Amino acid sequence: MKKTLLVSLLAVGFFNSCHNNEEIINDTPKQLEVHNKVVNVTNHDGKPFNTGNTNSQNGKFIAGPGGGVMMQGFYWDVPDGGIWWNTVKDKVTDWSNAGMSAIWLPPASKAQNGPYSMGYDPTDYYDFGNYNQNGTVETRFGSKTELEGLITKAHAENMQVYADIVLNHNSGGQSQANPFTGTNTWTDFSGVASGKFQRSYNEFYKNSYGNNDEGAFGGFPDLCHASPYVQNWLWEREDSVGKYYKNVMKFDGWRFDYVKGFGPWVVNTWNSNIGGFSVGELWDSNVNTLEWWANNANSSVFDFAAYYKMDEAFDNGNLNVLNDDMMWKRNPYKAVTFVANHDTDIINNKMLAYAYILTHEGYPTIFYRDYEEWLNKERLNNLIWIHNNKATGNTSILYTDNDEYIARRNGYNGNPGLVVYINNSSYWQERWIPTNWASQQIKDFTGHSSWYPTTQGDKWVKIQCPPKSYSAWSLNQ
């Protein structure tokens, strides 16, 4: 069931009791966000906005009441040449200071395309850039030593590191005669340089266990998880892939690639044997499918339902669809929300989308290029601070129409929560809304509004939002 509640707003008969309030309905805004670019980064009154204290006292991430934020630490075709691990390492302290709690890295082991591979065609799960095979010693991203240095640095900054795990398919094997197909197949992995998890046609469909499982990918040899030998090497042995990643390489969690290709029991069994955070890439907008997979895999799942709803809402002028069901509404503890990733990037009004996921329930993800290259980093840091410090409690949707969306986080364990106002119209907007706070002064922690209204005794208050932008209101404390 949805965890939200639609409340109709009745503004008639209420009087404004705001403290230091100014009516600016027809005034010209001094700050306007157009096509993800901030034209003038000031308050309505021209003063610099207040981003909040985005740095922790000791320069390391400290979990606030709203939790943490994940950084996807790569994009498709990052620079090759073995420099990426050090590139990310140099940014870890800044990401920690901004309030990010974890980094998701690309597949780290040696793949068929050697120095040019993004890792999604794995050959040797135990070669992190320390064996000479597939035309290179280092991976596209760097050496094993550099990867270990990055993970060590992230842990020193109190950040977790998640490995991208490709379990559906392999690539880079040698040709061998296959009695199950009557042809030669590229399924001979007996010569992997690490000497670990050697494979043959017996470990790939079709074989003695059947013709196929849930799905193959791109014509690559399809790994057979029904094989006890495969299970032994993936998660059972003390030097299994999962235990090696966790105990030797010190990864803290897992992003499972293309989980449509095998049953959710695979991730469930991995998690039972290995532990750590996990999230699956189940590319499906059907929230029932997402919830089914997450429950059966005992794992979080990327909230593709929310992803496509945000595109419809913010790019197609229909914020009413944010009333629809999404994974974060079904189970926020198993929903990883995102605005873009290395595979898909369809949302144009990204700052509104980030304002949405960073003020709502779920585990929000920041895409590397959005943060480091394309969007306003100071604005994103402000939203991260709001998420970590104010976005607590369950969610009540207070108002929606085509252009406006207002929702309340109801607070938790002494934290007051917040009210977020997203305005996709071309004009400043104002609304009376019900809060959880009686006779208390609030402010917009984005700095987009200079109002400091005081809630009425019945907890109602009038708030505002700039055009093509957002505001986030909470107690002025």
Out of 188, 252, 257, 444, pick the active-site residue: 257
On whether residue 10 sits in a domain, the answer given is no
At residue 55, the pLDDT reads 40
At residue 19, the pLDDT reads 29
Q: Is 58 annotated as a binding residue?
A: no
Could you list the residue range(s) of the whole structural domain that residue 147 is in?
65-302
On whether residue 416 sits in a domain, the answer given is no
257 catalytic per annotation: yes
Rounded (5°) CA angle 158-162-164: 165
CA proximity to 174, closest of 206, 144, 133, 132: 133
Task: Give every CB contact of residue 13 below 8 A, 6+ residues apart in sequence.
Answer: none
On whether residue 160 sits in a domain, the answer given is yes
Out of 281, 303, 361, 430, pick the active-site residue: 281
The strand pairing partners of 300, in sequence order, are 279
Full DSSP string of 223-255: E-TT-HHHHIIIIISTTSHHHIIIIIS---EEE
Per DSSP, 173 falls in state P
Q: What is the dihedral of CA 137, 277, 375, 54, to 10 degrees?
A: -110
* Per-residue pLDDT tens listing for the chain (477 residues): 333 333 333 333 332 323 233 222 222 232 222 222 232 333 333 333 334 444 444 568 888 899 899 999 999 999 999 999 999 999 999 999 999 999 999 999 999 999 999 999 999 999 999 999 999 999 999 999 999 999 999 999 999 999 999 999 999 999 999 999 999 999 999 999 999 999 999 999 999 999 999 989 989 999 999 999 999 999 999 999 999 999 999 999 999 999 999 999 999 999 999 999 999 999 999 999 999 999 999 999 999 999 999 999 999 999 999 999 999 999 999 999 999 999 999 999 999 999 999 999 999 999 999 999 999 999 999 999 999 999 999 999 999 999 999 999 999 999 999 999 999 999 999 999 999 999 999 999 999 999 999 999 999 999 999 999 999 999 999
At residue 27, the pLDDT reads 29
The widest CA-to-CA distance across the chain, in whole angstroms, is: 83
At residue 59, the pLDDT reads 65
On whether residue 122 sits in a domain, the answer given is yes
Name the helix (H) or strand (E) containing 106.
none
Helix %, strand %, coil % of the chain (to 5): 25, 25, 50
311 catalytic per annotation: no
Rounded (5°) CA angle 370-371-375: 60
At residue 393, the pLDDT reads 97
On whether residue 362 sits in a domain, the answer given is no
At residue 64, the pLDDT reads 87
On whether residue 417 sits in a domain, the answer given is no
Determine whether 278 is exposed, middle or buried from the number of CB atoms within 10 Å of its CB (0-12, 13-18, 19+): buried
On whether residue 401 sits in a domain, the answer given is no
At residue 402, the pLDDT reads 98
Number of domains in the chain: 1
On whether residue 230 sits in a domain, the answer given is yes
CATH classification at residue 201: 3.20.20.80
- Rounded Cα distance, 179 and 213, in Å: 19
In 303-403, DSSP assigns E strands to 335-337, 363-367, 395-400
Per DSSP, 33 falls in state E
